[in-house]
Amino acid sequence: MKINILFIITSCMIISQAHAQIKKVDEIKKSLETTNKDTVAWMHGGVLNAGINEGFLHNWAAGGEIASLTLNGVFHGYLNYLHHRNVWSNNLDLNYGLNYAYSTGFLPHKTDDRIDFTSKYGIRYDSSKNIFFTGLFNFKSQFTKGYDYTRSHWDSAAVSNFFSPAYFTTAIGMEYRKGSDVSLFLSPLAGRLTMASKFYTSQSDQGAFGVPKNKTAYYQFGAYFSGRYQASLSKKVVYKARLDLYSDYLAKDTKDSTGKVIKKDSPANISMLLDNFVSWKISKYLNLTFGLTLAYDNNIPYTKTPTPHYWP
């Protein structure tokens, strides 16, 4: 009987110590989200959402799509390594969505398509400050072919594809960082490489995606800003925001062989990407998400949507 009692007491002590250690680790990780501590640690996390929406209407007086199906997936993940005054942070954003409808013969129409990876390495020059000397690498592209669905025969030719375009940005600058919740990076020395297949750049005198006609690459050199912000609005609601700005020092008007200006450009035409993402954890297995993305790039020409026809 004594042996059993001692065994139970020892087990309770081990379990209590394990819970204490787990709680301590969680507290450290939580504090690292808002402060910069001199420590050695890996931090990782993310949000994964997959959604399915199906609709079916038959003899519905208000009208509508007879049958439709929408599939979408979103992933926002991060992996950070802290080593005393050094910080290596990695962020990966993936978005993809498809819509199938009876009226289009259930041919898939893309509603979202994005690959966005950022890796930064920073050295904290003063242990009492939140300023880092940082180098940055960013890659953007898409998964599959993209089409202009306003065209009558839209499936006859794609307007984009994986690695067409592909954007590579490298930059060196200063970063204000407060844990993993706030990051403001500014670089006056930033290079950007845009790549695309000749299939797309040969379609017009302007080329495509900023890449000149019949070329496969276009290099830019300028200034770059990238800001990220994350906040827990409550225990179940998380808000994330991101703002990227790029100005090309070398930007100038594009002219054809006769000297006619076919595209106006200057360093004042700043490329912009603004992301907003809200995740609300309703239950253990159910999340509600809301995303808003705004983008501007002078290298992507504006195409006016055809005026719709209204029937009596």
- Residue 6 CA, distance from chain mean position: 55
User: Could you tell me the pLDDT band of residue 57, with boundaries at 50, 70 and 90?
Assistant: confident
Report which listed range, 51-55, 270-274, 279-283, is most confident: 270-274
Look at the block and give the residue holding tokens 């990051």.
183
Angle at 277 between CA 276 and CA 281, to 5 degrees: 160
pLDDT at 301: 67
Q: What is residue 1's predicted lDDT score, i.e. its pLDDT?
A: 44
Query: What's the token pair of residue 277?
Result: 């993402």
- At residue 176, does pLDDT exceed 70? yes
What pLDDT is attached to residue 103? 86
At 105, list the tokens: 């013969």
Q: Is the pLDDT of residue 262 over 50?
A: yes
**pLDDT (mean) for 138-162:** 92
Give the per-residue pLDDT at 189. 96
Q: Does pTM surpass 0.85?
A: no
Is residue 231's pLDDT more than 60? yes
Least confident of 13-17, 26-30, 38-42, 49-53: 13-17
If one compares 303 and 275, the residue with the highest pLDDT of the two is 275
pLDDT 10s digits, 100-138: 999 888 999 999 999 999 999 999 988 778 999 999 999
- Indicate the domain borders of the chain: 1-32, 41-296
Instruction: Label residue 7 by pLDDT band (50, 70, 90).
Output: very low
Per-residue pLDDT at 16: 46
Q: What band does 19 get if pLDDT is binned at 50, 70 and 90?
A: very low
- Please determine, for residue 8, whether its predicted confidence score (pLDDT) is greater than 50: no
DSSP single-letter state for residue 211: B
List, as one string, the DSSP characters of 173-207.
Answer: EEEEEETTTEEEEEEEEEEEEEE--HHHHTSSTT-
**Which range scores top for mean pLDDT: 92-96, 200-204, 210-214, 233-237?**
92-96
Q: Using DSSP bridges, classify how beta strands 271-281 and 237-248 pair: parallel, antiparallel or unpaired.
A: antiparallel
The mean pLDDT of the chain is: 84
The sheet carrying 271-281 orders its strands as 40-56, 67-83, 86-101, 109-124, 131-141, 166-178, 182-195, 217-232, 237-248, 271-281, 287-296
Q: What integer pLDDT is reported at residue 278 of this predicted model?
A: 92
